[in-house]
A and B are shown apart, each in its own frame.
Chain A
Amino acid sequence: MANVDGKSPVGFWASSSERHSILEDVQGIAAGSMLAALGVTLLSSANLLIGGTAGLGFLLRYSAGISFGTAFFLLNLPFYWLAYKRLGLVFTVKTFAAVALTSVLTGILPQLIGIEHIQPLVAALFGGLLIGCAMLILFRHRASLGGFGILALYLQDRFGWRAGFVQLGLDGVVLALSFFVASPLIIVCSILAAVTLNMTLAINHRTDRYIVR
């Protein structure tokens, strides 16, 4: 029923406007992960941080010297079980693919692009923007970059805590921890990056406009 003219759902161009074909999802996830990895590279070139599990990844990188890609991949592992229980197998698999791809790309990007100098303010704007766009693309293809969002949704269901406040609280903790590894200027720029990221998502992520499920 989803395919009105009976075309294969694997083609590049799905005949139905309500569903993405598999190839469409693949290109969306690949492009989203590449943008996210580039955003992370810009942020880390200026030693900036951000919210969420990515923020924790940055904290580990700056404090313990663990590579961001490894830290980001490992930090997201505990959340897949919750994602599977709450948001289904397809979402979990896509999220795993996006997180793995982003982790690998952030690992190899420094070999392919060397940033000599980046102004922290510019890093915050472009980094936040790129990760925001990447998450927008991933959300629109029913994937995510894992982490706190899933936990927040779970806690809301289990204990009735508001998901938005849980997420804000967790990001606040990450930010508070960042005072141990970063200077005030870096923290101000990091907040700017987080605001840019979340404003991009808040304004543009609307399921009543991009109607594909």
Chain B
Amino acid sequence: MAEEKQVQRRNLGFYSADPSQHTPVEDVQGMIIGAMTAALGLYLLNQVGLLTSGTAGVAFLLHYKFGLPFGVLFFVVNLPFYYLSFKRLGMAFSVKTFAAIVMVSVITEIEQQFLLIQYLHPLWAALLGGILIGYGLLGLYRHRASLGGIGILAIYLQDRFKIPAGLVQLAFDLCVMLAAFFVVSPETVMWSLLSAVVLNLLLAVNHRSDRYIVVR
């Protein structure tokens, strides 16, 4: 009993004695760091009118087309996916993902009051944005959360209709980029494409559960 209590106490601390488990405090800081990093990346992209892949790309499209606030759009666009996420990836994952998306939505909205950017070269917006969102997602994935959306749908479709998840995601991102041609200039689409490639390369190279060994 006393031993159990000791373990319980340790699990809530900053430092988990067990390398294969994150403590709640570790998860919270991981999600805050991931959300802040990703939000800064999205903010930089937004400054020069670039897009990115996934649901954030859809939110950007609607944002540039109709002028609605990005944070609100990002939150709304991700809503339909929580049901799938809850069914397929469990309660903890869905709750964490919801928290991460809320943080990203809020931070991207309030950031303009604290950080005003005068000018930004599209190349740097694309590179830094891609890297920041990539590392934000990497941090979130490693703490078993995500920024929602298409990934969850892709996994569902793979299970239900045997369509490879990677292809679904790629097809969706291509659709976003094609649609972007109708909303922004071709040059902007090219920069956006660069940013999406940087983001996805970074995840492809670095997201390896055989290296970052925490189980859940």
Stretch of B3-11, B96-104, B206-214 with 4 or more beta carbons under 8 angstroms from chain A: B206-214
In the complex, chain B residues 118-164 whose Cβ is within 8 Å of any chain A Cβ: 118-121, 123-124, 127-128, 131-132, 134-135, 139
A-B contact pairs, 29 of them (CB 8 A): A12-B204, A12-B205, A13-B204, A24-B206, A34-B127, A34-B128, A35-B135, A109-B124, A111-B121, A112-B121, A112-B124, A113-B119, A113-B128, A114-B117, A114-B119, A115-B116, A115-B118, A118-B116, A121-B114, A122-B114, A122-B115, A126-B36, A126-B40, A126-B115, A133-B37, A203-B29, A209-B19, A210-B213, A212-B211
One of A31, A34, A208 near B19 (C-beta < 8 A): A208
A17 and B211 contacting across the interface, CB-CB below 8 Å:
yes
Q: Does B109 contact A (CB under 8 A)?
A: no
Give the size category of B's interface with A.
35 or more
Closest A residue to B47 by beta carbon equals A113
Closest B residue to A13 by beta carbon equals B205
B122 to chain A, nearest CB (A): 10
Closest B residue to A113 by beta carbon equals B120
The residues of B that contact A133 with a CB separation of less than 8 Å are: 33, 37, 135, 139
Q: Does A27 contact B (CB under 8 A)?
A: yes
One of B33, B115, B201, B208 near A118 (C-beta < 8 A): B115
The residues of B that contact A17 with a CB separation of less than 8 Å are: 208, 210-211
- Cα–Cα, bound, A210→B119 (Å): 38
Q: Does B202 contact A (CB under 8 A)?
A: yes
The residues of B that contact A114 with a CB separation of less than 8 Å are: 117-120
- Cα–Cα, bound, A165→B116 (Å): 38
- Cα–Cα, bound, A109→B211 (Å): 33
- Cα–Cα, bound, A34→B33 (Å): 17
B116 and A210 contacting across the interface, CB-CB below 8 Å:
no
B117 and A209 contacting across the interface, CB-CB below 8 Å:
no
Closest A residue to B131 by beta carbon equals A31
- Cα–Cα, bound, A133→B208 (Å): 18
One of B14, B26, B124, B134 near A113 (C-beta < 8 A): B124
B30 and A204 contacting across the interface, CB-CB below 8 Å:
yes
In the complex, chain B residues 187-216 whose Cβ is within 8 Å of any chain A Cβ: 201-202, 204-206, 208, 210-214
Q: Could you tell me the dominant secondary structure of chain B's interface residues? A: helix
Most buried by B among A34, A109, A133, A204: A133
A211 and B36 contacting across the interface, CB-CB below 8 Å:
no
Closest B residue to A121 by beta carbon equals B114
The interface of chain B, by Cβ under 8 A from chain A, is 14-15, 19, 25-26, 29-30, 33, 36-37, 40, 111, 113-121, 123-124, 127-128, 131-132, 134-135, 139, 201-202, 204-206, 208, 210-214
0/1 interface trace, chain A 181-213, chain B, CB 8 Å (1 if under): 000000000000000000110111010111110
A7 to chain B, nearest CB (A): 15
- Cα–Cα, bound, A31→B198 (Å): 10
The residues of B that contact A203 with a CB separation of less than 8 Å are: 14-15, 25-26, 29
- Cα–Cα, bound, A17→B212 (Å): 9
- Cα–Cα, bound, A13→B210 (Å): 12
Given A34-B128, A126-B40, A129-B37: A209 and B212 within 8 A (CB)?
yes
A101 to chain B, nearest CB (A): 13
Closest A residue to B19 by beta carbon equals A208
The residues of B that contact A38 with a CB separation of less than 8 Å are: 128, 132
The residues of B that contact A158 with a CB separation of less than 8 Å are: none
A117 and B128 contacting across the interface, CB-CB below 8 Å:
no
Other than A112-B121, A116-B117, give 10 A-B pairs with Cβ distance below 8 A.
A27-B206, A34-B131, A35-B135, A113-B121, A115-B115, A122-B111, A130-B40, A203-B26, A210-B212, A212-B211
The residues of A that contact B25 with a CB separation of less than 8 Å are: 203
The residues of A that contact B30 with a CB separation of less than 8 Å are: 204
The residues of B that contact A31 with a CB separation of less than 8 Å are: 131, 134-135, 202
- Cα–Cα, bound, A12→B201 (Å): 10
